[in-house]
Amino acid sequence: MNKILQSKSAQKNPIAELTREEEAQLNTIIDLLIPSDEHFPPPSSLDLIDEFLHHCSSRVEYSPRMLNLKQLRSVFDQLNAAAGGSFCKASADKQQASLKSLEQLDPALFQELWTLVNHSYYTRMAMYSSTSLPPSATFA
C-alpha cells in the first residue's frame, strides 16, 4: 500500500507555482495549523507545497474546491495585511491572531484552508513509515 501511495504521489505534476515568499507563507500557515510534537514532524519539513497545490487545484476531478490559487493568494494578502505587512516576519502571536481574524471574517474559506492543509499533511504522512521519513522531517 505504501508503495502504491508513493507511486501515485510521484506521478503528480505541480499544478501551479508559488513564489518563494508565497511558499514560505504557506509553510508557516501549515505549521501553525498543524503544530508538531514528539510523534509528528512539522508539516513544512515534509515538503507539502505540491501536495497542497494539487488538492487546491480546480483541475482535481473529484471535488470542486472553494480555495483556488487566486483565492489562496488573496488569503496571503489578507494575512500579510492583518500581520502589519509581512505574515512570515510577524511574531507567532501576531500570526495566530491573523489566522483567527481570517477564520472570523470568512469561516468557510478558513475551513477549506484548514481541510486542505490537513488532507495534504496526512496524505503525505501515509506515504512514510517512521523509519522512512525524508531527512528534512525533524521532530520537535
Annotated domain spans of the chain:
23-126
- Biggest alpha carbon–alpha carbon distance for the chain: 46
For residue 8, the model assigns a pLDDT of: 46
pLDDT in tens, 69-89: 888 999 999 999 999 999 999
Query: 46 with 137: CB under 8 angstroms?
Result: yes
For residue 87, which of 2, 21, 34 has the smallest C-alpha distance?
21
Q: What is the pLDDT of residues 22-41, one digit of tens each?
A: 999 999 999 999 998 887 77
